[in-house]
């Protein structure tokens, strides 16, 4: 019996607009799809105690995170009538203003697509073993807290 390979969702550094465009173009010939929902998370230049965030350095427990994603994907496909789902999450340093998370969901109809995409984003943020260390312009850093 052939073992199913777990997808790797991680991208070193920022996720480029070209990567997002590639996701979209890959689905163009799939004419049974009528809706795509794309969430793009970008690093904010927040201020904490008078210091501005220059970027975030992401670390992850890769093997566990990819397994969590595989289970999440199974759950989402069982719950919603979607055609496909793709996730890209940054590891390493991502400067403010650049993308660090992309969730791409497709289905025949928009409602299922939008609901599934929203749930995926929320579950990734709460379940994925990924941590971000905010790096400030003065090169000091602190671990990021998700709200």
Give the pLDDT score at 147: 64
The helix (run of H) or strand (run of E) holding residue 24 is helix 17-27
Global pTM reads: 0.92
86: burial class by Cβ within 10 Å (0-12, 13-18, 19+)? middle
Q: Which domains does the chain have, with CATH numbers?
A: 10-143 (3.90.1170.40)
Ramachandran assignment for 49, one of left (phi > 0), alpha (psi -120 to 50 degrees), beta (any other): left
Per-residue pLDDT of the chain (147 residues; tens, 9 = 90+): 555 667 899 999 999 999 999 999 998 889 899 999 999 999 999 998 899 999 999 999 999 999 999 999 999 999 999 999 999 999 999 999 999 999 999 999 999 999 999 999 999 999 999 999 999 999 999 998 766
Dihedral over Cα of 56, 60, 66, 67: its sign: negative
Ramachandran category for residue 104: left, alpha or beta (phi over 0 → left; psi -120 to 50 → alpha): beta
């Amino acid at each position: 019996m052939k073992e199913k390979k777990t997808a790797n969702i991680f991208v070193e550094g920022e996720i480029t607009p070209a990567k997002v465009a590639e996701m979209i173009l890959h689905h163009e010939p799939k004419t049974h799809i009528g809706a795509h929902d794309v969430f793009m998370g970008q690093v904010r230049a927040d201020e904490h105690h008078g210091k501005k965030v220059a970027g975030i350095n992401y670390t992850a427990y890769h093997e566990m995170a990819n397994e969590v994603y595989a289970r999440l994907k199974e759950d989402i496909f069982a719950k919603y009538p979607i055609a496909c789902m793709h996730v890209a999450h940054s590891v390493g340093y991502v400067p403010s203003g650049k993308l660090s998370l992309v969730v791409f969901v497709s289905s025949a109809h928009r409602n299922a697509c939008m609901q599934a995409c929203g749930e995926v984003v929320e579950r990734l943020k709460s379940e994925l073993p990924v941590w971000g260390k905010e790096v400030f312009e003065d090169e000091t850093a602190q671990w990021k807290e998700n709200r």
